[in-house]
Amino acid sequence: MEIFFTLLNTVYVREQITERTMDKLKNDAQIIGEVLKIQKSKNYHDILKILDTRYTILSMNGTVIYDSKNYENETNMDNHLYRPEIDALKNEKQAFDIRNSRTLNEKMAYYAITIEDYSGDRIIIRTSESFKSQQQEINTLFLLQVFFFIILDLTILIFYRNYIKRSKRKRIERMREFLEKGITMEDEYLSDDKWLLNFWFVVREWQEKNLLNIKKLNQEKILLNRLINSLDEGILLFDENLDLITKNSSMNFLFHKDSKKYLEVINNIEIIDVLKECYQSKKDISREIYISSLNLYLFTDAKYLPDNEQYILTLKNISQEKEIINIQRKFISNVSHELKTPLTNIKGYLIALEDAPEELKVNFLNIIKSNVNKLENIVTDFLTISKLESKIRVNPSKFTSESLLKELETSISEMAKKKNGKVVYEIEENLIQMVTDFDKLLMTLKNLLENGFIYNSSKNPQVKLTLHEKNEWYHFSVKDNGIGISRDKLNNIFDRFYRVDEARTSNIAGTGLGLAIVKECVKTLGGDIQVISQPNEGTEFIFRIKKLTI
Ligand code: ADP
């Protein structure tokens, strides 16, 4: 378009300039013609000296008669008959031509016309003028136009590119904003830019997939974290240089929080040794460790993960298992000891029975019988305690406090009678319905009430049972007026096989397991127990158990 316009405009301007030049040359030639028509003299030089245009007068055969620029040298000039503007006069009255002059070696405009001079001879008048400046003018104009259009195009290009860039950038930024906020952008916003709209669809689809994946990953991460943190075991993951990658929150007391290097992270030399051994041998190492300052047994396990050159360290607190093993060991030795005494007695009296005189036999038999009873009691208590320990499920039932007391009364009546003692009940009036494990509660109360009579040297032994409910608890108190317990023994009375002072009591059937059973029962019923006592001031057991539901 621009090239076409430039060419058209250049052609038009050239036409105008050419026409102007031709008009001038024509005008001059006509003036010369008019002068020559009336002038007899052939002294053209003098007649036409006022004209600055170059003009040549030629005969019809092309001979130069006069040339204003080659005055008196005309005879040396070529015949002009075949110069295009002269040649054209054969058919035309006037002729115009623009060409390179052979003699002057520059672009010239020529105009030629035939006229009759004053004598009636036909002659040719040719005017000419340099076309150099006009040509330059045309060239300059052409160049100017080309330059103008180049500048214009460049400006438009820069402006357009900037505009497009800015508008695209603005849209892309808006897209980013929408993506970041997770808002669905109106598709109409991009409807005028198909390319961008398609791009937007692709990005959005991609983002939706990504968001879904991120969501899934996050959920999995949360789940995994929750899982790892819910473990009781301490888990630590180290990289190939034994720098900590991650750890769960268990056993934090064994580690320094803000460190990365394994030597700084772990604050126990034995655990460090396990990890270091695994690191050096590239083999799994596990070891039991005892941390005396914390009275803690740990099972420490370091594993090498060859695929990603990592090390995983797990620490398991096995103190409880260790304690159970210890308790079991102690229990077995206690049991053997406890069984041994009555068994030795039985064995001894059985041997003695064979040769014993008749009057002692009954006595011996009674001793054997009471030892057998003791054996039976021990075995019964063992069974009870091991049942409780094996965490037999609590069996809640609904009953009234009245039915509980009735059953209790029956269970201990024999003992109370024997001791000539009495039980005083102080029950909250409005307490009618109870929900708990009837048998376990009965066993607890029976043990405590019996002890209240057994360890009692008062003339009028009395045990007072108090019961009330508060919030989600049933509160009990069993208080006697017995011999009491000294302060230094109070901490031990709930231990298995612990008996304060065998010589103090006449309870040879006692096993030292009664209060251990009580404590286990109360614990199983979701409660706790404590004791208040002083020698000769009586003893009070206070405990509470949780209200259960069925
Ligand atoms: P046992 O009665 O079979 O000896 P227990 O576990 O019931 O075993 O009691 C442990 C010890 O606590 C008893 O040997 C006794 O010395 C002391 N004891 C328990 N109840 C009372 C009490 N009401 N008054 C004083 N001493 C008690």
Specify the ligand 1 atom closest to the Cα of 541.
23
Maximum distance among all alpha carbons in the chain?
A: 207
Beta strand segments in 242-295, E: 244-247, 285-291
Say how many Å lie between the CA of residue 418 and the centre of ligand 1.
Answer: 18
Which amino acid residue places its CA nearest to atom 17 of ligand 1?
500
Q: How far apart are CA 169 and CA 166, in angstroms?
A: 5
C-beta of residue 113 within 8 angstroms of C-beta of residue 124: yes
CA nearest 345: which of 509, 455, 496, 505? 509
Say how many Å lie between the CA of residue 450 and the centre of ligand 1.
Answer: 10
Q: How far apart are CA 304 and CA 286, in angstroms?
A: 12
Say how many Å lie between the CA of residue 537 and the centre of ligand 1.
Answer: 15
pLDDT of residue 509: 64
pLDDT of residue 508: 56
Q: How far apart are CA 109 and CA 363, in angstroms?
A: 171
Burial class (CB in 10 A: 0-12, 13-18, 19+), 477: middle
Which amino acid residue places its CA nearest to atom 8 of ligand 1?
512
Mutate which of 493, 532, 533 for ligand 1? The one with the most ligand atoms within 8 Å of its CB, which is: 493
Specify the ligand 1 atom closest to the Cα of 517.
6
Q: How far apart are CA 191 and CA 371, in angstroms?
A: 103
Say how many Å lie between the CA of residue 522 and the centre of ligand 1.
Answer: 17
pLDDT of residue 166: 86
pLDDT of residue 478: 98
Q: How far apart are CA 313 and CA 234, in angstroms?
A: 8
pLDDT of residue 93: 87
Mutate which of 485, 488, 504 for ligand 1? The one with the most ligand atoms within 8 Å of its CB, which is: 485
Burial class (CB in 10 A: 0-12, 13-18, 19+), 378: buried
User: Residues enclosing ligand 1, CB less than 6 A?
Assistant: 451-452, 455, 480, 482-485, 493, 498-500, 510-516, 539
Q: Could you tell me the pTM of the whole model?
A: 0.49
pLDDT of residue 117: 85
pLDDT of residue 184: 65
pLDDT digits (tens, 9 = 90+) for 286-314: 999 999 988 899 999 999 999 989 999 99
pLDDT digits (tens, 9 = 90+) for 266-276: 989 999 999 99
Q: Which residues contact 179 (CB under 8 A, 6 or more apart)?
A: 203, 204, 207
Specify the ligand 1 atom closest to the Cα of 538.
24
Mutate which of 375, 449, 455 for ligand 1? The one with the most ligand atoms within 8 Å of its CB, which is: 455
Which amino acid residue places its CA nearest to atom 27 of ligand 1?
455
pLDDT of residue 186: 63
pLDDT of residue 506: 52
Q: How far apart are CA 92 and CA 114, in angstroms?
A: 9
pLDDT digits (tens, 9 = 90+) for 151-166: 998 999 999 888 888 8
**pLDDT per residue as tens, the chain (550 positions):** 878 888 888 889 888 988 988 999 999 999 888 888 888 777 777 777 777 788 999 999 999 988 888 888 888 888 888 889 999 998 888 999 999 887 778 889 999 999 988 888 889 999 998 888 888 888 898 899 889 989 998 999 999 888 888 888 888 888 788 777 766 666 666 677 788 788 888 888 888 898 899 999 999 999 988 998 899 899 999 999 999 999 998 888 888 888 889 989 998 999 999 999 999 999 999 999 999 988 899 999 999 999 989 999 999 999 988 888 887 888 788 888 888 888 999 999 999 998 889 888 999 999 999 999 989 988 888 888 888 877 667 899 999 999 999 999 999 999 999 889 999 999 877 666 899 999 999 999 999 999 999 999 999 999 999 999 999 999 999 999 999 999 999 989 998 888 887 555 555 567 888 999 999 999 999 999 999 999 999 999 999 999 999 8
Helices (H) and strands (E) in the chain, counts: 13, 17
Distances (CA, A) of 233 to 101, 299, 393, 441, 446: 110, 9, 27, 36, 42
